[in-house]
Amino acid sequence: MTTVSGEWLANRGTQTVFRMLRQAGRQAYAVGGSVRNALMDLPVADVDMATDARPEEVTALAELEGLRAVPTGIEHGTVTLVADHRPIEVTTFRRDVATFGRRAEVAFSDDLAEDAARRDFTINALYADAQGRVIDPLGGLPDVVARRVRFVGDPGRRIEEDYLRILRFFRFHAWYADPEHGFDAEGLAACAAGRAGLAQLSRERIGGEVRRLLDAPDPGPAVATMEAAGILGAILPGATARLIGPLGAVEAAQSVSAGWQRRLVGLGWHGDWAALLRLSKAERKRVEQTAEAVADGGPAARDAYAFGTEVALDAALIRAAALEQPPAPDLAAHVKRGAAARFPVRAADLDLEGIELGAGLKRLEREWIASDFTLNREQLLARL
């Protein structure tokens, strides 16, 4: 019997929900990401649970237990319980009645196997009871051991149920698969064949998946395969995966953490992507400043002065990847120096000289930046 363990399972909140449902004569299992990650020795962030109890019963039991119940997805059977200050999503076993490419009409079920059969990948169709004993109705454990991402049942049918599963296939491969095994051939072919269905998805859903994919430790192989299958261009017209692999190598050599915004620029930023991915104003500003700094090709200190530390570092890493060489060994020092630089001339200085303020300040600031921030106030004013 395969088992899982960890604080996520043993903590009071999780065990309270298990006990509450079991005492009511209901089935209760942790499911999906928590079980998968525990089996893969990865951190567990969230706990989802599955049960044969209907949402209204889950809510009533929670109220008797003194737990807060939030109907976060009641039409699909999901109630979020707050137990010991932790949110736990409890969802009734379900089976699909009808699917529409981006949403599904579901019916509640009493059968765990039916619930498992509607899930996307075998590594997500794993359940664990309160003692950590794993239930594997679809043979997902071998895929966990092999680090293999494989659709449940027929890949084409799973994709037609929800075309977002195409992007999830690549994201899960980037996060959980062993790259030496490559992609599941049947799943990859189904993704390529169904890529036109991506047009049915909302930009918010696509944007969320792209962020998660590009935040993976090494998304290079997944993104390159997306490009070869015609999927990358379908969601981001004009994108190229050419720099993503080299950028990952530069990041690893510099011990820099993953950053989806940096990698988005590495794909060859186009301004219309902001709308396609529903970027916030802050996200768009960060990405566009990085793209501007990369295109300008200036020194890192100047980028840090103009845009800040993060943009300057991102731009330097992208340029290094493009040149296929490591960044300057003193990169961090230059970035720190540029970020700390303060233009020594003020408007009052020019006013005393009778100079037009805006043009004069801009001209002197350009000369000061060109001097690598070395000219002082007196030297700059002497140039008027």
68-107 pLDDT per residue, tens: 999 988 888 999 999 999 999 999 999 877 665 556 677 8
Token pair for residue 250? 């530069």
**CA 243 distance to own-chain centroid:** 19
Q: What is the DSSP letter of 272?
A: T
* pLDDT tier for residue 366 given thresholds of 50, 70 and 90: very high
Residue spans of the domains in the chain: they are 1-146, 242-341, 343-381
- Torsion-angle region of 238 (φ positive above 0: left; ψ -120 to 50: alpha; else: beta): left
Checking if the pLDDT of 139 tops 70, the result is: yes
How far apart CA 18 and CA 49 sit, in angstroms, is: 9
Overall size of the chain counted in residues: 384
Region 298-302: mean pLDDT is 93
Question: pTM of the entire structure?
Answer: 0.91
Checking if the pLDDT of 348 tops 90, the result is: no
> In this structure, are strands 28-31 and 127-128 parallel, antiparallel, or unpaired?
antiparallel
228-253 pLDDT per residue, tens: 999 999 999 999 999 999 999 999 99
How far apart CA 260 and CA 215 sit, in angstroms, is: 5
How far apart CA 212 and CA 129 sit, in angstroms, is: 29
Residues 6+ apart with CB under 8 A from 47: 8, 9, 14, 30, 34, 86, 88, 89
Q: Higher model confidence: residue 179 or residue 138?
A: 138
44-71 pLDDT per residue, tens: 999 999 999 999 999 999 999 999 999 9
Q: Specify the CATH superfamily of domain 1-146.
A: Beta Polymerase, domain 2 (3.30.460.10)
Residues 305 and 341 sit within 8 Å (Cβ to Cβ): yes
Region 280-295: mean pLDDT is 97
**Closest listed residue to residue 304, CA positions, set 346, 251, 259, 341:** 341
Region 122-141: mean pLDDT is 97
Burial (CB < 10 A; 0-12, 13-18, 19+), residue 114, is middle
Checking if the pLDDT of 357 tops 80, the result is: no
